[in-house]
Amino acid sequence: MKTSIFWKKLLTSTLCISIIASIGSGTTVYAADYPANPPDKAEWQLDFADEFDGPELDKTKFTDNYLTHWTTLEQSKANYTFENGNLVLKIDKDQGGWRPGTVQMISSIATGMRDGLHRFGNDVEMVDHHRANTNYETKYGYFELRARIQGGPGMHCAWWMVGNQDNANEVTEIDIFEILGKECGANRSKVNVSVHPWADPASREQSLNYYANADLSNEFHVYGFEWDETGMKFYFDNQLVKQTSQTPNYKMTTLLGIYEAPNSWTGIPDPNALYPKKFEIDYFRAYKRPAMIEQERTPAAGENLAPYAVKGSDKSWDWNNPPSNAGDNNAYTCMQSKDNVTFPQYIYFDWKDGQDFDTVALKSWYAQGQAPTNWDVEVSADGETNWSTVASSGDMTWNTNTVDIESKVLAFSKVTGQKAMRLKINSANTAWKHFAINEVIVKDSSTPCVGTNIANEAIPIMNSADAGFLTDNNLGKATQSKDNLAMPQYITLSWATPVSFDRVKMHCWYAQSQAPTNVDIETSADGTAWMTAANSGDLVWHSNDKTIESKDFTFTSVENVKHLRIKINSANLDWKHFAINELEVFDGASSILP
């Protein structure tokens, strides 16, 4: 920690003359250099911090390349130094545009980066794949920055966060501040605070701007951002100035940057201004309350590794169906390419740590119209170089062209310690000009799946438009049957390779109105001859709200089967349908979900 620098700044800073704060459009703050806050904060635990002591940027915390996938590594590189215990992001006069065809100059650092992050316009196209950086992607907390802004027209400095896009809609942008140099005055500066939904239907456009009676380009100040399940709050020099009930419910990446460009928003840069332009940052800190701290999940023995990878591509894709869909545990979402692509195409799976595996399976629907027909599996130990081919599909033939999902499995000699895998798509069925993959399974088949939920590796089939919710590891969504169905009804889980299990767990909400009340557990090796493994008897449910209730069915282990069928004999049908939030399947051991 920057102990000595903190106390030096505390003793030498000009003390605040006065502070007057109110929640509203006219927040007023009178201040000179505002002193650095101590690192300890009551009721909060420090979760992440960089005091920017230098002399090098800590690459385990921040990457110094800006949105690399939209540009080149050279053009995306930040320009910075360390001065007086601060990180100084700089713009030099001859720095050059940050991406091909633009004059905008940017120096920025970020706590994460991945292919396709922050698609800021319909015309932007992927330039290349770069290994994902996931140093600090987080949800909820209190975040704090102490900084001095660059003044003058044509400039702005920004602290912003953006959804990490694990799902296509997780893209909201939160601008904790965008401060224009031309709006920094001797006694009054404007702080632009915004919510930009982009493609997130759960967010709405919102401006939360405020004014500080201070020259933010001449003084260091402390900016704070509090975010939890109830909303977001914005602070200036420890005073609450703005708040909103909006609150994205997913992880975000933090970006800090200085920008120069001639435009109507920031103005035209002064040709006689001194360079370099500077965004000076004393520290960045992130805090959590104990209930906010999430333990990072790591793959269990024998578990599908694909959901733990960051998925990407070296080319642009259909933005409504991104590569993340190929490993989201939902068999009924898909990754879809752009139209009229040239082959080969590459789909990347980046893991933070090395992984061991010997099996890769592809699932696709409408396969005769859009599934890959020839692909290679390639791996890299460092995730970036020395790619080697471990399996090739040869020419594959698919049998259906309907919503029914087919699987193709490649088995190969086990590889160990691999930080990345990529699928090299050599050819595909392109009846609709694109190719698509619903799900990819990456496994070590030599490791028993004891204690591992294997339901999310199966293809769920049910008389419902939302069958994928049955096995997506998300209790917040339910699969609902059609109305007025005659009993019995069947839910089938089918695996690409044989599995063994002795336990099924069913999770439901509003159970007294829509949960099954009597079920049989049936299994089959071939999908035609079925054996009953267990009967639930009459089930009693105790709640009729969003409380998740669970029912456990255990039985003698069934070995080497490819199909499980849940026969719904009866159900609570107050609303004419039955519904199940999640199914889990285990060979012993306890549930992953609550």
pLDDT at residue 37 tops 60: yes
- 3 pLDDT exceeds 80? no
Residue 436 lies in a domain: yes
| CATH code, domain with 352 | 2.60.120.260
Residue range 16-31: average pLDDT?
41
C-alpha 213/C-alpha 185 separation (Å) is 9
Same domain, 196 and 338: no
Q: Which long-range contacts (CB under 8 A, 24 or more apart) does 313-317 make?
A: 313/115, 313/116, 313/126, 313/129, 313/345, 313/346, 313/347, 313/348, 314/126, 314/128, 314/129, 314/345, 314/346, 314/348, 315/126, 315/341, 315/345, 315/346, 316/116, 316/125, 316/126, 317/116, 317/126
The reported pLDDT for the residue numbered 16 is: 37
Specify if 594 maps to a domain: no
Check pLDDT > 60 for residue 91: yes
Q: What are phi and psi of 586, to 5 degrees?
A: -135, 155
Dihedral (CA of 409, 310, 172, 266) sign: negative
Q: Which of 164-168, 210-214, 483-487, 542-546 has the lowest mean pLDDT?
A: 164-168
Q: Distances from the Cα of 537 to the Cαs of 301, 525, 533, 564, 572, in angstroms?
A: 33, 25, 13, 18, 14
* Together in a domain, 148 and 194: yes
Q: Examine the domain organization and report whether 314 and 282 are in the same domain.
A: no
- Name the pTM for this structure: 0.89
Q: What is the total count of domains within the chain?
A: 3
User: In the 3-class helix/strand/coil scheme, how is 529-552 assigned residue by residue?
Assistant: CCEEEEECCCCCCCCCCCCCEEEE
Domain membership flag for residue 450: no
Average model confidence (pLDDT) across the chain: 92
What pLDDT sits at residue 589?
54
Query: Measuring CA to CA, which residue among 41, 317, 311, 279 is closest to residue 148?
Result: 279
The pLDDT score that the predictor gives to residue 588 is 73
**Do 275 and 380 sit in the same domain of this protein?**
no
- Domain hosting residue 542, numbered range: 455-586
| pLDDT tens per residue, range 93-119 | 999 999 998 999 999 999 999 999 999
Asked if residue 232 and residue 133 are part of one domain, the reply reads yes
Angle CA 132–145–194, to nearest 5:
75
The pLDDT score that the predictor gives to residue 31 is 52
**pLDDT over 50 (residue 18):** no
Name the domain boundary from 422, 443, 464: 443
593 domain residue, yes or no: no
Cα–Cα distance between 214 and 148 in angstroms, integer?
Answer: 11
Let me know if residue 591 belongs to a domain: no
Same domain, 518 and 577: yes
- Sign for the CA dihedral angle at 538, 542, 547, 553 comes to negative
Mean pLDDT value of segment 395-415: 96
Is residue 539 in some structural domain? yes
On whether both 27 and 57 belong to a single domain, the answer is: yes
Determine the average pLDDT of the residues in 46-51: 98
Which of the listed residues 443, 473, 499 is the one where a domain comes to its end?
A: 443
Q: Which two tokens stand for residue 294?
A: 């999430």
pLDDT at 8 over 50: no
Residue 387 has pLDDT above 50, yes or no: yes
Q: Is residue 299 part of a domain?
A: no
Residue 560 inside a domain? The answer is yes
**CATH number of the domain encompassing residue 118:** 2.60.120.200
* In the block, residue with structure tokens 């003793």: 11
472 vs 453: CA distance, rounded Å: 11
Same domain membership, residue 318 and residue 234: no
Domain boundary among 443, 468, 488: 443
Per-residue pLDDT averaged across 336-350, rounded? 97
Same domain, 227 and 258: yes
Residue 15, pLDDT > 90, answer no
Together in a domain, 288 and 317 = no
Same domain, 465 and 422: no
- Please state the rounded mean pLDDT for residues 482-505: 95
In terms of domains, do 474 and 330 share one?
no
Q: How confident is the model at residue 449 (pLDDT cuts 50, 70, 90)?
A: confident
> Hey, what amino acid is at 429?
N
